[in-house]
Amino acid sequence: MSIQKEKWMVINKKADFKGMGSRHKIDQVLARILNNREISEDKDIEIYLHGTLEQLHSPHLMKDMDSTISILQKKIREGKPIRIIGDYDIDGIQSAYILLKGIKRVGGVVSAAIPDRIKDGYGINENLILAAKEEGMDTILTCDNGISALEAISYAKSLGMTVLVTDHHDIPYTEDGGERIYLKSQADAIINPKQQECGYPFSGICGAVVAWKVIQALYEAEHLPEKEYLEFLENAAFATVGDVMDLVDENRIIVKYGIEQMRHTKNPGLSALMQQKNILPERLNAYHLGFVLGPCINASGRLDTAVSSLKLMLAELPEEAVPLAAALSGLNEERKAMTEEGVGEAKKKILENGWDKDKVMVVFLPNLHESLAGIVAGRIREIYEKPVFVLTLSEDGVKGSGRSIEAYSMYEELCKCRKYFTRFGGHPMAAGLSMAREDVENFRRDINGFCTLNEEDFIPKIHIDVPMPLYYVTKELVEEIEMLEPFGKGNPRPVFADKGIKVREKKVVGKNRNVLKLILQDKYGYTYQAVYFGDVEEMLAFLEGREEISIIYYPKIDSYMGREEVQFVVSNYC
């Protein structure tokens, strides 16, 4: 990628890097990276580098936690049937699994329902409530949903049911004269760290972590040993990465230790899925959770029913888990092919209709499988660096998903157009909605009319942590950098850059000829092994006739035939 398509910016936050490095026995490069992430106090650095599970926040700090536990204990003692209602994505599946297993452990009469994406849509609804009532359920316990389902919860209360909400999504509101008025729910208790009255110190957790905190508090009340609720740590970690939460604060600790636990998992379903995707447990990392295993869990909710993913998690024997894992992997391969077709159709329609001129792109693809709208929206956003909504036809009108850019809070902007929606919800970076077919063009007009983005907001910015010459990188430094893992949203892989680089050799490799192996030479004459995984043909054309280039890179240890050496992964060039 050339400089015309992006802006390279060096993060230049000053600090005593030498002193930080000396006190914490780390290289100054690491000290600078930590400072770039606003981690500069000695206490915060120690927690970041060496944080333990003891530093996780107490569940009792959450609003309504203690009252929820009291209600649950009473229902369990009385033998009242409890229906958990989750969601069809990885966070909803893991949340439901945690609550189902956790409540059963303390003797609760409990079952779980997962909404059908096509028939039910997102989260709790009247169909699921009525089914629960007809099956004799006394209590509904939501997870990863429910905070916006005001009408559905009102309906459940009218049937005489107890409703407990556990969620992490934004609290719905209306605006009056520029002032936000948060809408009230009739639920008997609501656990959501984003509530204004909630005293929990970190609101950026996913639904599965909220569910895990509920089980922690329940087990404490039931005087069960700590190790029992820690069994669900790997599920909380899986959902945190899968739901793309920021890997900061306690999320980082949960994922770090959750991945370590998953490498030795006792869950037959997780083991079978890792085997299906040829992942060596000892090499499992956050990338595998987000981009290999997670999509398989999500695939069932997209193309089939997410109940099969919950069944995989609940499998007690390998012979039960293996066929379920194979089926989910197959569904995900089908989903990938359908996604590629959808992206191609979206690109074609954008050019035909001139939608690329809009600041906020609303792409109507009536024939796209509605479960793929969010994935296609994400891919189109990567191409155009603009907020994107992809809409599809559904049984009751139009459904859609949006993916945003950092400068645009998608949920807040949707609130300005709420008159068009039968349902909507989401985050600053992603959202979902339903509307009538005739309102699509009105929505396109208004969402753009309200948009205040300028041209500068659409230029991708790459923030360079350290302009670091290649010769400075050693195997020991790379191992230190690995202390910063797990990488992901909110804790990105560090970005390094060097200039005056000559490309001495280049060779296209890989089954699909999609990898470029390089020999680089710096201005001091030293040579280095490097690799590029982007558009190979584009880079080859760029290199033609050029003496020197600048690169953005990340170093890693390459192991081959028992030998280890530093290899540079080039991500950008100009």
Domain ranges of the chain: 3-50+461-573, 55-234, 354-458
- Evaluate if residue 3 carries a pLDDT over 70: no
Gap between the Cα atoms of 122 and 146, Å rounded: 9
Reading across the β-sheet that carries 430-435, which strands appear in turn? 361-364, 388-394, 397-403, 430-435, 421-426
**158-167, 210-219, 230-239, 419-428: which has the minimum mean pLDDT?**
419-428
In the numeric block, the tokens 């029913």 are attached to 305
Tokens of 148: 């916006």
Tell which CATH classification among 3.90.1640.30, 3.40.50.20, 3.40.50.720, 3.10.20.440 matches the domain 55-234: 3.90.1640.30
Tell me, letter by letter, the H, E, C secondary structure of 28-79: HHHHHHHHHCCCCCHHHHHHHHHCCHHHCCCHHHCCCHHHHHHHHHHHHHHC
**pLDDT for residue 330:** 94
CA–CA distance, 22 with 15 (Å, rounded to integer): 13
Q: Which one has a higher pLDDT value, 80 or 121?
A: 80
CA separation for the pair 259, 447 (Å, rounded): 40
Q: Which of 276, 366, 353 is nearest to 312 (CA)?
A: 276
Question: Two tokens at 281?
Answer: 């447990």
Identify any residues that bridge with 390 across adjacent strands, giving them in sequence order.
363, 401
pLDDT average, residue stretch 305-316: 93
- pLDDT value of residue 513: 82
Q: In this structure, how many other beta carbons lie within 10 angstroms of the beta carbon of residue 233?
A: 22
Token pair in block for residue 139: 């209590």
CB 49 within 8 A of CB 483: yes
pLDDT reported for residue 465: 96
Q: Are 99 and 85 in contact (CB under 8 A)?
A: no
- Are the CB atoms for 502 and 520 separated by under 8 Å? yes
Tell me which architecture the domain covering 354-458 has in CATH: Roll (3.10)
CB 409 within 8 A of CB 428: yes
Q: Does the pLDDT at position 1 exceed 70?
A: no
305 has pLDDT over 80:
no
User: Is residue 2 predicted with pLDDT exceeding 60?
Assistant: no
Of 114, 154, 104, 162, the residue nearest 137 (C-alpha): 162
pLDDT at 5 over 80: no
Which residues, other chains included, contact 100 with Cβ-Cβ below 8 Å and sequence gap of 6+?
A: 84, 110, 111, 112, 314
What average pLDDT does the segment 272-287 reach? 95
What pLDDT, on the 0 to 100 scale, is given for residue 302?
Answer: 76
The set of residues, in sequence order, having a beta carbon less than 8 Å from that of 375 and lying 6+ positions away, is 335, 339, 342
pLDDT digits (tens, 9 = 90+) for 12-35: 899 999 999 999 999 999 999 999
Place 396 in a pLDDT band, splitting at 50, 70 and 90: confident
CATH of 3-50+461-573, one of 2.40.50.110, 3.30.1330.10, 2.40.50.460, 1.10.150.20: 2.40.50.460
Rounded-to-integer distance, Cα 366 and Cα 420, Å: 18
Helix (H/G/I), strand (E/B), else coil: 549: strand
4 pLDDT more than 70: no
In this structure, are residues 453 and 408 in contact, taking their beta carbons and an 8 Å threshold?
A: yes
DSSP symbols for 384-446: H-S-EEEEEEETTEEEEEEE--TT--HHHHHHTTGGGEEEEEE-SSEEEEEE-GGGHHHHHHH
Q: What is the C-alpha separation between 485 and 287, in angstroms, rounded?
A: 11
pLDDT in tens, 440-481: 999 999 999 999 999 888 988 899 999 999 999 999 999 999
How large is the average pLDDT for residues 130-138? 97
Count of CB atoms situated within 10 Å of the CB of 319:
9
CB 137 within 8 A of CB 83: yes
